[in-house]
Amino acid sequence: MKRPKLTAVIAAMTCIPVWSFSAVENGKDGALVDYTKDVECGKSDVIHADWNSQYNEIAKINAAKYSFPPEQAFNIQAMKLASDKNPNDVGIRRLDALIKKLKSMDNAPDLAEAERLLSVAKGKKAGLESYSELKKSTRKVALSNPLLDFDSILFVARGVLNDHAKRKREIDGDHFCDQYYGHNAKTGGGLFIIKNWKSEDAEIIDVVAGLEVPSGTNKGRLMSEGTFISPDLSWDGKTIIFGWSSGGNKKWDPAAPFNLFKVGVDGSGLTRLTDSGVDQFDPVWLPNGRIVFMSAGRFGYGRCHGRRVPTFTMFSMKADGSDMYPIDYHETNEFQPSVDNNGMLVYTRWDYLDRDHNASHHMWHCAPDGRNPRSFHGNYALPLSTVGDTKKVKGLHLRPWAEFNCRSIPGSDKYIATAGPHHGQSFGSLIIIDTEVEDDNKMSQVKRITPDYLFPESETRTRSWHDMAFGTAWPLSESFYLCNYKDSICLLDEFGNRELICKLTNGLRPIDPIPLKARKKPPVVPCKTYQGERATKDAPSATISVMNVYTTDDHGKLPDNAKIKQLRVVQVIPKSTTLSDQPRIGFASQSMARIPLGVVPVEKDGSVYFKAPVGKAIYFQLLDEKGMAVQSMRSLTYVHPGEMMSCIGCHESKQQAPQLSHAPLALKREPSDLKPEIDDHIMFNFHRHIKPILESKCVSCHNEMATKKMTLWKSDPKRAAAMKTGPTDMSYKALEKYSFYLGHGYLKAKHGGSRTTPGEFGARASRMGKALYNENHQKSLEAGKFTQQDIRTITMWLDMNSNEFSAYKELDKQKLGEIVWPIYDVDPENYTGVELRSVK
């Protein structure tokens, strides 16, 4: 079968000769045709074409029209300044900055000749010809960088969904999730190494040339006939792990998903690692030798789509593919794990529990075994709340909508990432993230490496492929990076100098450039969970502790009179149906089904310690003495077998150490058991628990009041108008205006923003919840017309988004009050998920 052609142009980095490479394929007469050819130095080759392109790009920029303050740039030299009269001025500034930077580095090269040429360039007449001469000097200086101590670069050439208009019948969508489904991927490309990339002998090596799928699904098929994604190189620089799919456009064909393979850098030892029938990709080597990767193996679907979009989260396995298990239980998609300098995993989480689906796809951290997932950056777009004010700025446009390809920078506490769109793939503008700076929920932690390219969707309000110019970047330091730029791999620096390394000319995109060399391993973070082969009967139970729930930031400060008595644990149920709001679970569009797992006590000093549900997406609510939620999470967490998760407080400062003057009271005792708030709270929903109370204990009184009101209209209309009677229709739809719910509408009062306003949430903020504690209802309570448990039941429903259903199936049975167990993440024999064994 004919090999799909790869045409690449490799730029040798010395005398600027250029070689064009492609695969050898069958010609029209059946003879082999070699597309390899030389382009002589000095002609209008790809290097000069790239310089011409950069010249024109700079010329088009109006320095007065930057839509952001210059301090948002990581280095102002990367911008066009008001003092720049032409592209030559820009090039001179950037070369000067580069020379100064290199001279300050260890093992600095001799740059005397470069400084002389720079001085000459300053006296030349501006124009394309002199700009090209300047760029020739810049290129030579850039390649003298002592950080470029590797001879080869690994990368993947793959198709992207930028031709969706032509393939609209074949692909499911152009969304950041869709790029990871094998049947959406264009075949062709491959796994390549640019060898001797700085010499005149540069060449492309096809790592899997002639190799066939060694086992399992698609066994015997040429790897080169499929499609490749997300390579990672072992710490010793000898072995590559990567995702591969047969491609094709038969949607959800079990032969088409991405699966994981490993191979030596010389093409030896090709081994299949996974063969699950679901997409598995984005593998990363851990310092302890295991592999973490993304997988759709936990099942579940996205909740805002009009098509099937499986969710994928992180799994772990040994290097031979054995001992595989999930390490996170998030209910939406996550992306692109990598290991940072501290040995921790960093990755992108799509986080939108009870809030807008565009608001947060930013960097998260966790231990390599999945423990302790935390967001240190960008998880809460402004406005934090819209309660009482719908005119607040729409903070979605004050920062990137999504940050992909997060990677730790060598020798730094900072991270590099790609600022990308929500409705598009992981390409855009390059940024640096500094989590040591306090997050202002805008741009305080973000600096622009490529300021001439705005953030797709967030700033451009579009997602054109011009805007999504930059892809994965591999940082060499805070100042220098290998990166994907459109159809090329480039060397980029913080000053804005961009030098071409490799250019594809066949519609594919070269991404994930990795220096082919051994790397220093980060420290091995010990595994402290008991999963897979580590699972034992005598392993400790999982626990969660909070040092002080009153410790928070300014926005999370609890009302002065709030006395927190309990913490409620709520489970979010992954969506088991494919289309948005089919079925609709509650008043809020895209609301998630959820069930209460129980409550635990909060001690006088605000401390909490309890046995934790394992393997579930959960969130917490702080309850007052009436059982009403004062504060509620709008994110989620999860706990693993044997994990001991601990928090300082609720939205505590990430920059300050905890201030503890004594041992928390809760930690002086055994962990609490989860206790049900009400009798029969299993699979809690409106028809099983709320409607019976309203119909049996409320309707008659409300009807009586309504009758009195109608009578009063005849004698005293003014008094009748002020008379409150309560609803007489107790159907679910009729109760919306009396209820409380959070949804994905970003700026809707009480329903928008990204964080809860303490004290203005749930039952406390709803008409129904407030009415439960008015004089009439308290008299009815004293008279025995209803009970404290009735009030607590309704309160819990209002606090948990006032949903109608608790599972995405068998709605007719749920309407009859029957128990319907969800498909995912619930065990009817142990619905709380608490491990039934004692703490060691």
Contacts of 796 (CB under 8 A, 6+ apart): 568, 596, 627, 677, 678, 681, 684
Provide the pLDDT for residue 1: 37
Cα distances from 115 to residues 138, 143, 495, in angstroms, run: 10, 15, 17
Average pLDDT (189-200) is 90
Q: 661 is written with which tokens?
A: 């003057």
Q: 3-state SS of 430-479?
A: EEEECCCCCCCCCCCCEEECCCCCCCCCCCCCCCCCCCCCEEEEEECCCC
Instruction: Say yes or no: 668 and 565 in one domain.
Output: yes
pLDDT at 390 over 90: no
> Residues 648, 763: one domain?
yes
Bridge partners (DSSP) of residue 402 are: 361, 420
Identity of the residue numbered 661:
S
Whether residue 505 is predicted with pLDDT greater than 70 in this model: the reply is yes
Q: Cα–Cα–Cα angle for 493, 242, 170, nearest 5°?
A: 95
Of 434, 460, 478, the residue that ends a domain is 478
- Verify that 582 and 470 share a domain, yes or no: no
Q: Please report which helix (H) or strand (E) contains residue 232, including its range.
A: strand 227-233
Between the alpha carbon of residue 748 and those of residues 378, 588, 757, the distances in Å are 21, 12, 14
Shared-domain flag, residues 596 and 707: yes
pLDDT > 60? residue 223: yes
pLDDT tens per residue across span 697-754:
988 888 888 888 788 888 888 887 877 778 889 999 999 999 999 987 767 777 888 9
pLDDT for 446 equals: 98
Report the candidate in 435, 440, 372 with the shortest Cα–Cα distance to residue 612.
Answer: 372
Q: Cα dihedral angle (775, 780, 782, 786), rounded to 10 degrees?
A: -130
Residues 683, 828: one domain? Answer: yes
Residue 501, CB-side half-sphere exposure with 13 Å CA sphere: 31
- Mean pLDDT, rounded, for 255-281: 96
- What's the number of CA atoms in the CB half-sphere (13 Å) around residue 648? 14
Question: Residue 788 in contact with residue 781, Cβ under 8 Å?
Answer: yes
| Residue with the two structure tokens 């498909």 | 823
In a domain, 244, yes or no: no
Banded pLDDT at 581 (limits 50, 70, 90): very high
b/e burial code for range 771-803 (CB count within 10 A of at least 16 → b)? bbeeeebeebbeeeebeeebbbbbbbbbbbbbb
Residue 750's pLDDT is what? 77
- Asked whether residue 776 carries a pLDDT value surpassing 80, the answer given is yes
Domain shared by 715 and 837, yes or no: yes
- Which pTM value belongs to this model? 0.93
User: Is 623:569 a contact under the CB 8 Å cutoff?
Assistant: no
Same domain, 543 and 691: yes
Please check whether residues 580 and 444 belong to one and the same domain: no
**What are the pLDDT digits (tens) for 293-309?**
999 999 999 998 989 99
Check pLDDT > 60 for residue 25. no
Q: Are residues 721 and 804 in the same domain?
A: yes
Pick from 142, 159, 185: which residue ends a domain?
142
Give one word for 2, left, alpha or beta, with left for phi > 0 and alpha for psi -120 to 50.
beta
Of the chain, the percentage scoring pLDDT greater than 70 comes to: 92
Q: Is 506 within a domain?
A: no
- Residue 45 included in any domain: yes
The domain boundary, picked from 142, 177, 196, lies at 142
Quick one: pLDDT at residue 194?
95
- Where residue 161 falls among pLDDT bands split at 50, 70, 90? low
d(CA 794, CA 95): 68
474 and 544 fall within a common domain: no
243 within a domain of the structure (yes/no): no
- Mean pLDDT along residues 372-385: 93
- Joined together, the tokens standing for residue 232 give 């990672």
* Residue 837 pLDDT: 55
Residue 814 pLDDT > 70: yes
pLDDT at residue 6 is higher than 80: no
pLDDT digits (tens, 9 = 90+) for 228-264: 999 999 999 999 999 999 987 788 999 999 999 999 9
Q: Beta partners for 241?
A: 232, 262
CA atoms within 13 A on the CB side of 211: 23
Q: How many domains does the chain have?
A: 3
Q: What's at 88, amino acid-wise?
A: N
Q: Does the residue 582 lie in any domain?
A: yes
* Sign, CA torsion 173/175/181/187: positive
Q: Is the pLDDT of residue 2 over 60?
A: no
Q: 585 and 684, same structural domain? A: yes
Q: Are residues 463 and 585 in the same domain?
A: no
Whole-number pLDDT of residue 217: 96
What's the confidence (pLDDT) of residue 8?
A: 59
Is the pLDDT at 513 greater than 70? The verdict is: yes
Q: How confident is the model at residue 676 (pLDDT cuts 50, 70, 90)?
A: very high
Please report the pLDDT score of residue 198 as a whole number.
87
Question: Is 329 within 8 Å of 643 (Cβ atoms)?
Answer: no
> How many other CB atoms are there within 10 angstroms of residue 125's CB atom?
8
Burial class from Cβ neighbours inside 10 Å (0-12, 13-18, 19+) for residue 714 reads exposed
Considering the chain, what percentage of its residues have pLDDT values greater than 90? 74
Residue 138: predicted pLDDT: 97
Q: Is residue 124 part of a domain?
A: yes
Report the distance separating Cα 478 and Cα 415, nearest Å. 9
Q: What is the 3-state secondary structure (H, E, C) of 73-114?
A: ECCHHHCCCCCCCCHHHHHHHHHHHHHHHHHCCCCCCCCHHH
Residue 577 lies in a domain: yes
User: Is residue 60 situated within a structural domain?
Assistant: yes
- Is the confidence at residue 330, as pLDDT, over 60? yes
Question: Is residue 183 classed as helix, strand or coil in its secondary structure?
Answer: helix
Element (H, E) at 51: helix 46-60
The Cα angle at residue 460 between residues 745 and 753, in degrees rounded to 5: 20
Range of the structural domain that residue 606 is part of: 538-840
Question: What pLDDT shows up at residue 467?
Answer: 86
Q: What is the pLDDT of residue 794?
A: 96
